[in-house]
Amino acid sequence: MPIINYICFSDLHFGDVNSLLTRLKQDSNDTDPGKPSDVMVQLVECLKVLINDNGGVKPILVLNGDILEMALNTDNEGIMVFQRFMELTMQKGKELFNDEKIIFIPGNHDHHLWESARETQYLKYIKGHSGILNIPWHVTYMFDKGDPKKIVESQLLTQLAQQYADKIVVATAYPNYAIMREDEQKCIIFHHGHLIEQIYRIMSTLKTWIFPEREKPRQVWHIEQENFAWIDFFWSTLGRSGEVGQDVGLIYHKLQSEEQVKELVYNVVNGIDKDYNLPGIDSIAAASLKLILGIIVKKLIDLEKFKTGMSPADSIEKNLKAYMTGPLREQIRVELGRENIPDVTFVFGHTHKPYQKDIEDIKGYNKWVNIYNTGGWVVDKVKPDPDHGGAIVLIDDDLNTVSLQMYKEKDYTAKAEDYAHKFEQANPLHQHIQGLVRPDEDPWKTFSRCAKEGVEIRAEHLKKYIGVTH
C-alpha cells in the first residue's frame, strides 16, 4: 500500500474574511477567529480518513505559500486562525502530521515571514563568520538534503506550532523547495507561484524601461533581490496599516470589476486635479492621465486568479514555461552541479485554480514534466467560477503525486485527480486515494455541503463590499 509522506496545501489565507477557513460571525462579514470555520472542521475530518489509513506514518505538512493573510487583514487574525488549524490537526497523541517538522514556502501574501526568516538566516551567518561579510542573500537552497545548516526557521510559525507540538520546527525555504528521491532520479519542486506572474517582477521591468541597456535578471536570487521590497510592501505588509490597509484590500477586491476599476482611476485623477490644481490640466490631459493609470491597473486586473473563460493551464502555461526554463532551471543546475537533471514534478498554487497536467518538451528538462496546482481556499469573485477551488497534493515515498480536489465553485464533489502521460506506469497512490474518497458518504459529503454554503455566503458579502449591484 502506498504511504503518504507529504501533504501540501497552499493559499489558505488564514484570517481573510473571504477564506473558507476563517470563521464568520452569524449573518455578518466580521471574522470570528476564536473558533474554526465549519469548512476547516470538515476538512480536518477528511484528512483523518487519509492519515488514519497510512500505516501509522504521519506525513510532513508542506505549506506552499499564502498561508497567513498579511496584506488584506491584520496579523493577529491570521495568527489566530492558524492556531485553530493546529488545534484540530496536532492534538497531543492524535497528531495528523509529523510533529518534528513543517515545511513552509512563503508566498506573496505572507512574504513578510520570509523577510523575517531571511534576517534570521543572515544573523546565523554573522555569528559563525569573522572578517568581511557578504551581502545578505535573498533565497535559500532548494535541495537541503537533510542538512540542518540549509534550514531557515520561521520563528513566528515555529513558536505558534510549538504551542501544540513542543518539538516541531517550521523550516522555511524560498522561493523554491525540492524533495529528492533517494536514487536522485526524480524530484518534486514546490514554488508558491507568484514569481511566475510579471506583476511580481515589475521592479525589474521598470529598470529595463528606464535603463534599456540593462538586462532583466535571469537567476531567481537576482529576481528576488530586485523585487522583494515591492512584493513585501504591497502584497504582504499593508494589512497592518490601519485604514490604509483596509482601503488597499478594497481596491484589490475591486480589480475583478472593470466598472469599479474605472471609478477608482477617475477618483485618482480628480483628486490630483483638486488637491494640486496642476497648471494646464484640461479634459485632454485628464483623459491622458486616466489612460496611463488605466494601463497600470490593467496589469493588476490581468492577474491569473481574475481571468475567466480560459482553462488555467492554457492561460498560465507561457509564463510557467518561462519560469521553469529560466530561473528555476538555473537554480537546479547550480545546486546539483550538473546539466542533466532528474525527472521533475512541479507543484505550485497562487492562481486559486487547481489543475493537473503533463507538459512535453520543456527545454532543459526530461521529456515530460508533471504539473500540479493546489488552488486556493478564498472566494475571489462575486459569481461562481468553475475553475476556482481548493485541492490538496499528496506525495508518497516513491514521489508519486495525486491532487485531491476538494471542491470547485460549481462542483463541490471531492475527487482524486491524476494526470500522467501515456508512457508512465499506473500511479498506485492515485488508485489508493480513489478508494478512500467516497463523496456520497461523510465526512466528504458534509464537507461539500459546508464548502458550497461558505462560497455562497462569502460571494454575497463580497458583492456588497465592493459595491456590485448585479
Q: What is the pLDDT of residue 8?
A: 98
Q: What is the pLDDT of residue 193?
A: 96
N-terminal to C-terminal alpha carbon distance within the chain: 51
For residue range 219-246, what is the model confidence (pLDDT) as tens digits? 999 999 999 998 988 777 766 666 555 5
| 298-318: average pLDDT | 61
Cell matching residue 193: 507561484
Contacts of residue 454, defined as CB under 8 A and 6 or more positions apart, other chains included, come to 20, 37, 38, 39, 379
Please give, one letter per residue, the 3-state secondary structure of 417-469: ECCCCCCCCCCHHHHHHHHHCCCCCCCHHHHHHHHHHHHHHHHHHHHHHHCCC
Q: Is 69 exposed, middle or buried (0-12, 13-18, 19+ CB in 10 A)?
A: buried
pLDDT category at 248 given cuts 50, 70, 90 is low
Lowest mean pLDDT among 180-189, 233-242, 266-275: 266-275
| Cα-based distances in Å from 129 to 20, 115, 123, 149, 154 | 46, 21, 10, 14, 22
Strands 389-396 and 4-9, sheet pairing: antiparallel
For residue range 97-155, what is the model confidence (pLDDT) as tens digits? 999 999 999 999 999 999 999 999 899 889 878 889 999 999 999 998 878 778 899 99
**Residues 189/290, Cβ–Cβ less than 8 Å:** no
Rg (CA), the chain: 22
Instruction: Walk across the sheet containing 368-373 and list its strands.
Output: 176-180, 186-191, 343-348, 368-373, 355-360
Sign of the C-alpha dihedral, residues 154, 156, 161, 162? positive
Rounded CA-CA distance 156/114 in Å is 11
This prediction has a pTM of 0.89
Mean pLDDT for the chain overall: 86
pLDDT of 301 higher than 60 = no
Percent of the chain with pLDDT over 90: 61
Q: What is the pLDDT of residue 374?
A: 97
Percent of the chain with pLDDT over 70: 81
Domains of the chain are 4-201+308-466 (3.60.21)
If residue 294 lies in a helix (H) or strand (E), which one and from where to where?
A: helix 283-301
For residue range 334-363, what is the model confidence (pLDDT) as tens digits? 999 998 899 999 999 999 999 999 888 899
Cell matching residue 283: 479634459
pLDDT category at 268 given cuts 50, 70, 90 is low
Q: What is the pLDDT of residue 281?
A: 47
Q: What is the pLDDT of residue 148?
A: 75
Question: Coil, strand or helix: which one is 99?
Answer: coil
Cis preceding linkage at 59, omega within 30: no
Rounded CA-CA distance 46/450 in Å is 13
| Cα-based distances in Å from 71 to 20, 296, 306 | 17, 20, 17
**Phi/psi-derived region of residue 438, left when phi > 0, alpha when psi is between -120 and 50, beta in every other case:** beta
Greater confidence (250 vs 342) lies with 342
pLDDT category at 164 given cuts 50, 70, 90 is very high
Q: What is the pLDDT of residue 184?
A: 92
Q: What is the pLDDT of residue 83?
A: 98
As a 3-state breakdown, the chain gives helix, strand, coil percent values, each rounded to 5, of: 45, 20, 40
pLDDT category at 80 given cuts 50, 70, 90 is very high
Cis preceding linkage at 175, omega within 30: yes
Q: How many residues make up the chain in this entry?
A: 470
Strands 186-191 and 343-348, sheet pairing: parallel
- Phi and psi at residue 311, to the nearest 5°: -65, 145
